Structures are given as structure tokens and as C-alpha cells.
Structure 1
């Protein structure tokens, strides 16, 4: 099983629509670990996803649409070397 790590920036109407909590639920359901947080610009959510490549891809597919009320305008994915550093999926404070 190929493991993957994606550093993701999702832009649009993605704050105030339960994006982070919804992403956490989708990630956990798919066995993906990492974190998600809002950025202080008010229109970006940032996340790091680690897990089996297929599972990470499922979370990324979901992130292109997001939860009801979200309007994703752009998603930037930076593939990084898998580190296996996470035990679970967390919502981090805004930066």
C-alpha cells in the first residue's frame, strides 16, 4: 500500500461553514491522519493529510466541494514525502 502526504490549501467560502469539522470526519472515516486549520485571511483552509494514497485522494476529492454552504474556488495540493508523524486528525488553531 502506497502511503502519501498532501499539504493542501483550499480557498473560497470555506470558513464559517463547518469545513474543518467536516474534513476531520471525512479524514477519520477514510483512515487519514493529519490536521486542518483556518488561515487568518478569512478565505483559506490549510490541511496536511497523511495515509494510504487512495484514502488521501478521497479526502481531496471531497475537499474540492466541501460541506453544504461551502464554495471552493481553488485547491492547491503540494505532495510531500510521507512522514507518518500523526496519530490522529486534529483541528488546529487559526494562523
Structure 2
């Protein structure tokens, strides 16, 4: 009989947009590093309007952790005015193989 590893952590998907002084301070690089460390899938990119947008997918607790980072901390030298998290969904598996910076 296979061993029971307990309940499987729920996986979620969420889109985000970060407003403030978030470009020109390596925000996308730091975001990718954080997501890689946490095992989160998805992408991040700069927008023409000066914000950062992206999509996060992974275990709920890890997505909550990066959501707090996006809302409160960010990269050194940035200023976060607002982080909008929208379109939360429960997912079975991520749509992405890794976390990437898009251009």
C-alpha cells in the first residue's frame, strides 16, 4: 500500500500589478530570484505605464509569501505604493515550467 504523505497543499494562480517606483531598481530580477527560491511558477515584466505585472502559480502558502514581498518589501531602492492581486484561482498544476522575466 502506498504511504500517505498527508493532504496535498492547494495550488493557486494569481495575477499581480505593482505600482510605485518599481522600474529601474531590478524589481523583476529580485522577483524572479524570490519565486525561484520559493518554487513558484509564472512570469513578471515591466509595463509601458511604469508598473510591474505578472502571474504567480504554486502552493498557496508560497504564493501568499511572495504576495507579501510584492506588497511590502520588493527590491532594494523601490517604493511600493500599491500591489493589486486579482483573478485568484485554484489550480491542479501550474501552466508554466519555471518563473521567467518577460520583455
TM-score (normalizing by structure 2): 0.85
Large movers: runs of 4+ above 2 Å: 80-83
Q: 1:6 aligns with which of 4, 11, 14?
A: 14
Answer whether contact 1:7 1:80 (CA < 8 A) is retained: no
Unaligned runs of 5+ in 1: none
Unaligned runs of 5+ in 2: 1-8
Write the distance in 1 (CA, Å) between the matches of 2:58 and 2:42. 9
Partner of 1:80: 89
Partner of 1:63: 70
Partner of 1:37: 45
RMSD: 1.0
Larger radius of gyration: 2
TM-score (normalizing by structure 1): 0.92
- The Cα shift of 1:84 comes to 1.5
- Which has the larger displacement, 30-39 or 78-87? 78-87
Partner of 1:51: 58
